[in-house]
Amino acid sequence: MIKAGAQRLAADYGYMLVSMDTSPRQTGIAGEADDWEIGSGAGFYLDACLEPWFKFFHMEGYVTKELYQLILKYFPADPTRIGIFGHSMGGHGALILALRNPKLYQSVSAFAPIAAPSLCPWGQKAFSHYFGEKNENWSQHDANALIAAGHKLPTLLIDQGLDDPFLATQLNIDRFEATCQSAKQPLILRRHEGYDHSYYFISTFIEDHLKHHEALLSKSHY
């Protein structure tokens, strides 16, 4: 929340920035703090189906229902002007939550998202623990699969660093781009030489993302 440097930009636009933890914490699940790929710090913005995760890991419901309703109840937020964006696993979350809840979000962007989790080690590990062996839930929480199936987003902005160590094995950006082209999903995909997966990358281009959201949310308002 702090390293991206987005607060000044949000103030300029009159936006409220809402950020949540990436997973439940201190649930009592054995070993939850020992594996950042599926335990504390993970979550993958989905509602887990299997024990022991089922009782606590309800990140999709939390973001799209509980937190959403709390923000509208206690803050002067406009439900017709809400965008969503994230980085890495959070980028995956932004994509699937917008694809699965098209009436909630009027703008979407992502930094280095896990764009096809069913096809990469991170996603396969998470889905197998939260959902079990490959099943319908996998494709329903995979942005690449949802776009291929005909789901649509507003014009999507993605920034990707070409020195990202996870680009080749985990992110599947090229495959996602091809799927968007085939499905005629509007996509602005920018590849950047010399940038990796870090917050320096995000802080460099965060202003472009706020401008992207402003352009779409202004249209939805008027």
164 is catalytic: yes
139 is catalytic: no
Q: Which of 23, 88, 107, 109 is catalytic?
A: 88
Q: Which residues make beta-bridge pairs with 190?
A: 159
Burial class (CB in 10 A: 0-12, 13-18, 19+), 103: exposed
3-class SS of residue 187: strand
Q: Which of 197, 209, 212, 213 is catalytic?
A: 197
Distance (Å, whole) CA 89 – CA 123: 9
Q: Which residues make beta-bridge pairs with 109?
A: 85, 157
197 is catalytic: yes
Q: Which of 23, 129, 164, 212 is catalytic?
A: 164
* 186 token code pair: 């509007």
List residues with catalytic annotation.
88, 164, 197
